[in-house]
Amino acid sequence: MDTREKDIENLKDYKYGFTTDIENIKAPKGLNENVIKFISNIKKEPKWMLDFRLKAFERFKLLKEPDWQKPKYPKIDYQDLYYYSAPKSMKDKPKSLDELDPKLLETYNKLGIPLQEQARLNGIAVDAVFDSVSVATTFKGELTKHGIIFCSMSEAIQKHPDLVKKYLGTVIPTTDHFFATLNSAVFTDGSFVYIPEGVKCPMELSTYFRINASETGQFERTLIIADKGSYVSYLEGCTAPMRDENQLHAANVELIALDDAEIKYSTVQNWYPGDENGKGGIYNFVTKRGLCKGKNSKISWTQVETGSAITWKYPSCILKGENSIGEFYSIAITNNHQKADTGTKMIHLGKNTKSKIISKGISAGFSDMTYRGLVDINSKAKNSSNYTQCDSLLMGNKCGAHTVPYIKNKNFDSNVAHEATTSKISEEQLHYCQQRGLNPEEAVGLIVNGFCKEVLQQLPMEFAVEAQKLVGISLEGSVG
C-alpha cells in the first residue's frame, strides 16, 4: 500500500468524527437576555462588553433570517440550542498545560494538534478552541518577547480592554446581517491577535476550532490587528464529531491592517460534512471581513473548504487605504449532499487599490456549489483594478456549479476584469494520464490538484501538504 492509499484508508471515514467524553458546563437552552448575561457573567466580562452584547441582541430581534442564498436548509430553531458549552475543568482557567484536563490534551493529540510545545512543529503557535472556550495557547513566551499579543478573546477582554474596545465591531458592526449580529450577541471565545508597530511575526499563528458537545452552536469571534508596518500569517483549522443532527457554526472574524501592514489569513475547513445521504453535518455560516485601513496595507484570504454540510461565507476586503491590496484565493470542494455558497466581496474605496480573486470550485456527487462575489469600485477609488477568475469543475450530472458575480464599476479610471469557466475533466487529459500508467482515481487526483494549484501555492507549507491530501480525499469515490 503506498502512502496515498494508506491516507485514503485512514480517511475513508471522517477520522475526526470521534467525540470526547467530558463533563460540560452549559448555558440554559435557548436564546434570551438571561443567557447572554450568563455567558458574559461566566466569562467575568466588564459591563461595556455586556452592553455590546445586549445592544446586538436588541438589534437581532428585529432581523429576519436571510433566504436569498442557494442552499436551502430546514429552519433552525434558535431557542433549541445551547449557546455556551465548556469543559467543566475550564471553569477556572488552568495556569499551564500541566493543569489542563488530560482528556483535552488527548483530544488535540488525536486531531494531530499536540499542545505541548516540544511536540509541536516549530514555528506555529496554536490557540485551541474547544466548543465555547479557548483551552490553551502555545508559544506565548516567545511571542511576548516581540510584544505580540496572541490569546483567547476572553483573555483579551480582561487584559487588553482598550484594544478590544477600540477595534471590536468596527469591521463587522453589531448592526450587520442576521448571523453576524447573532454572533455579536452570544459569541463565546476565539482568538485575539495584536501585532505591534514594525513587528514581523516570527511564526505562524493558528487557531484550531473543535465542536464537541451536541446541540450547541459555536460562535467564535476572532479579531486580528496588524499595526503599522507589521506582518502576520494566521491559520485556522476546524473539525467536529459525526452526528446525525446539524450543528450551527456562526463565527465572526475581523481583520484590521493599518499603514503598510499585511495580514495573511488561511483556512482549512474540514467540519463534518454529514454522511453520504446528507444526514448531519455542520452549517458553516461565517462572516469574515478584513479592513485595509491604512495606506499600502494588504489582506489576503486563502481558503480550502472541504467540509460542512452547508458552507455559506464570503471573506471580504474593504480597501479603504490608498494603494491597499486585497486578495482572495479559494478552493471549495463539495461531494455527496454538501452545499456551498461562497465567494468574496472586494469593496474599493481608496485610490490605487488592487484586488485579485481566484476561485476554484469542484462539485461531485449530489452536491451544489455556488461562487458568489461582489467587486464594487467606488467613484473615489481612482486608478483601481480588479482581476477575477473563477473556474468550476463538475463531476457527474447530479451536481451543480453556479457562478454569480456582481460587478459594479463607478470609476472610469479603474479596470475590472472577470473570467469564469465551467467544464468537466476532459477525456483527453484522463486518457493521457492513464496512458502513462496512472489509474483513473490517481489521474483525477492529479488533474484536480493541477486545477487547484494556483490556490494551493498560497498556503503556508505545512498546510499546503495537508490541503493537497484533503483535496484528493474529499473527491474519493466520485470518479467513474
Partner 1 sequence: MKEQLKIDFNKIQEVSNFSNRDIEIKKSYLNKFIENGFPNRKQENWKFLDINQIISNNISDLSFYNDYSIENKIDPSIFIDDLEHNKIIFINGRVEKIDFSYEDKKQIEIIEDSYTTDKSENNNSLIDLNIALSNKHFKILIKKDYSLKKPLIIYHLSNEKMKSKNINLRLDFELEQNSSLKLIDFFSDDSEKNFMNIFYNFNLDKDAILKNYKIDKSLNKNLKYSFNNIDQKQNSISETFVFSAGSDYFKNEINCNLKGEYSSAFINGIFSLDDNKQHEIRTTINHLVKNTKSYQLIKSVLGKNTKSAYQGRIYVDSKAQKTDGYQLSKAILLDETSEFNAKPELEIYADDVKCSHGSASGSLDDNSIFYLMSRGLNYKQAKGLLINGFLLDVIEKITDAEIKDLLKKMIGFKK
Q: Are the C-beta atoms of 242 and 280 separated by less than 8 Å?
A: yes
Count of residues engaged in binding partner 1, rule: CB under 8 A: 34
Give the contact letters, 388-427, x = binds to partner 1 (CB under 8 A), - = no: ----x-xxxxxxxxxxxxxxxxxxxxxxxxxxxxxxx---
* Smallest gap from residue 417 Cβ to partner 1 (A): 5
Element (H, E) at 301: strand 298-305
| 181 vs 392 by CB, closer to partner 1 | 392
Element (H, E) at 266: strand 262-269
Give the whole-angstrom CA distance, residue 292 versus residue 172. 13
Restricted to residues 209-248, the positions that interact with partner 1 (CB under 8 A) are: none
* Smallest gap from residue 418 Cβ to partner 1 (A): 4
| 116 vs 409 by CB, closer to partner 1 | 409
Q: In terms of DSSP bridges, do strands 149-152 and 191-195 run parallel, antiparallel, or are they unpaired?
A: antiparallel
Restricted to residues 15-74, the positions that interact with partner 1 (CB under 8 A) are: 68
| 143 vs 401 by CB, closer to partner 1 | 401
Other CB atoms within a 10 A radius of the CB of residue 355 amount to 26
Give the whole-angstrom CA distance, residue 443 versus residue 479. 10
Give CA torsion, residues 268, 245, 338, 400, to 10 deg: -150
* Smallest gap from residue 340 Cβ to partner 1 (A): 14
Amino acid at 170: T
| 385 vs 449 by CB, closer to partner 1 | 385
In DSSP notation, 88-140 reads GGGSS--SSGGGS-HHHHHHHHHTT---SGGGSPTTEEEEEEETTEEEEE--H
- Say how many CA atoms lie within 13 Å of 351 toward its Cβ: 1
| 109 vs 385 by CB, closer to partner 1 | 385
| 296 vs 411 by CB, closer to partner 1 | 411
In DSSP notation, 134-195 reads EEEE--HHHHHHTT-EEEEHHHHHHH-HHHHHHHTTSSS-TTS-HHHHHHHHH--B-EEEEE
* Smallest gap from residue 104 Cβ to partner 1 (A): 44
| 40 vs 386 by CB, closer to partner 1 | 386
| 12 vs 177 by CB, closer to partner 1 | 177
* Smallest gap from residue 441 Cβ to partner 1 (A): 17
* Smallest gap from residue 225 Cβ to partner 1 (A): 34
* Smallest gap from residue 108 Cβ to partner 1 (A): 40
* Smallest gap from residue 245 Cβ to partner 1 (A): 29
> Under the criterion CB under 8 A, does residue 77 sit at the interface with partner 1?
no
Which residues are near partner 1 by CB under 8 A?
68, 379, 392, 394-424
